[in-house]
């Protein structure tokens, strides 16, 4: 993870949290997720700060759609600007900074935030939105 090479103190704190919670010789599992809030924050901030696919995966409309009086034709490619959403200064102050404090109160898995209607209720948009949410979100996180 790029962020861990740039922020070694963050990595040390994350490792300390894992060492304090997880028995030696074992790796964390999903059952441990709720007990590792600092590690969860590292993961969430990393995928927000430097998403692997900044424009996500393109999708296309399977029927004509009218939005705000404008026709978007069947077959039109739709691209969710994940980078733009995750770096919008209205919702992420100092968006270009790696800042774990964004996730102090958002420690649930990303899947639990997926259907929140309001931007500031989501943790990030790395895995997409709506019915086009990444099917492997539980593996990726």
pLDDT tens-digit series, residues 99-108: 999 887 777 6
What residues are designated binding site?
Answer: 134
Within a domain: 72: no
Within a domain: 6: yes
Give Cα 53 distance to the centre of its chain: 12
pTM score of the predicted model? 0.75
How many domains does the chain contain in total?
Answer: 1
Between CA 4 and CA 16 the distance in angstroms is 14
pLDDT tens-digit series, residues 54-75: 988 888 899 999 999 999 999 9
The enclosing H or E element of 85 equals helix 82-86
Domain containing 24 equals 1-53+81-139
Within a domain: 100: yes
What residues are designated binding site for heme?
Answer: 134
Place of tokens 């990030």: 124
Buried/exposed 49-81: b ≥16 CB within 10 Å, e otherwise: bebeeeebeeeeeeeeeeeeeeeeeeeeeeebe
């Amino acid at each position: 993870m790029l962020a861990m090479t740039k922020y070694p103190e963050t990595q040390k704190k994350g490792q300390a949290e894992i060492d304090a919670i997880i028995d030696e010789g074992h790796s964390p599992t999903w059952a441990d997720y709720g007990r590792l809030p600092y590690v969860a924050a590292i993961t969430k901030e990393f995928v927000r700060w430097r998403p692997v696919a900044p424009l996500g995966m393109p999708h296309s409309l399977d029927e004509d759609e009218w939005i705000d009086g404008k026709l978007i034709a069947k077959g039109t490619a739709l691209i969710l600007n994940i980078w733009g959403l995750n770096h919008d200064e209205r919702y992420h102050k100092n968006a270009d900074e790696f800042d774990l404090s964004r996730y102090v109160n958002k420690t649930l898995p990303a899947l639990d935030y997926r259907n929140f209607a309001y931007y500031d209720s989501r943790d990030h948009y790395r895995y997409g939105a709506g019915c086009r949410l990444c099917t492997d979100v539980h593996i990726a996180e």
